Amino acid sequence: MNVIVVFDKCFKNVLMCKRTKEPYLGMYNLVGGKIEKENDGLNEAYRELEEETNIKKKDIDLVYFMKLTYINWNKELEVYYGLLKNDVELIEEVNKLEWV
């Protein structure tokens, strides 16, 4: 899995999703999702970001920050971050998007 921390151009706000369904209905979450095994993590981060927000690779340079391993659940979480280079019209896939 991955999560992507997106900062606005002024480095003052972070893009968050507000969950519209369970689990965690109404709670804030970072953008992200599942990594397809046949693809590398960075490309998957860009794919998820574009699917969920309409932010394209030309709009942001993502940096691989860290990987967390959850031993008990046999899961790994890759964390990326980036600062927007361009103004972007956000398009919500499922969850509401908010700058916080």
> 11-23, pLDDT tens digit by residue?
999 999 999 988 8
Is 6's pLDDT higher than 90? yes
Question: What is the pLDDT confidence band of residue 37, given thresholds at 50, 70 and 90?
Answer: confident
Range with the lowest mean pLDDT among 22-26, 43-47, 84-88, 94-98? 22-26
Pairing mode of beta strands 28-29, 15-18: antiparallel
Helix (H, G, I), strand (E, B) or coil at 53: helix
Do 4 and 31 form a contact (C-beta atoms < 8 A)? yes
Q: Is 20 left (phi over 0), alpha (psi -120 to 50) or beta?
A: alpha
| Predicted local confidence at residue 34, as pLDDT | 87
Q: What percent of the chain has pLDDT over 90?
A: 85
Query: Which residues on adjacent β-strands are paired with residue 97?
Result: 17
Is 28's pLDDT higher than 90? yes
Per DSSP, 86 falls in state S
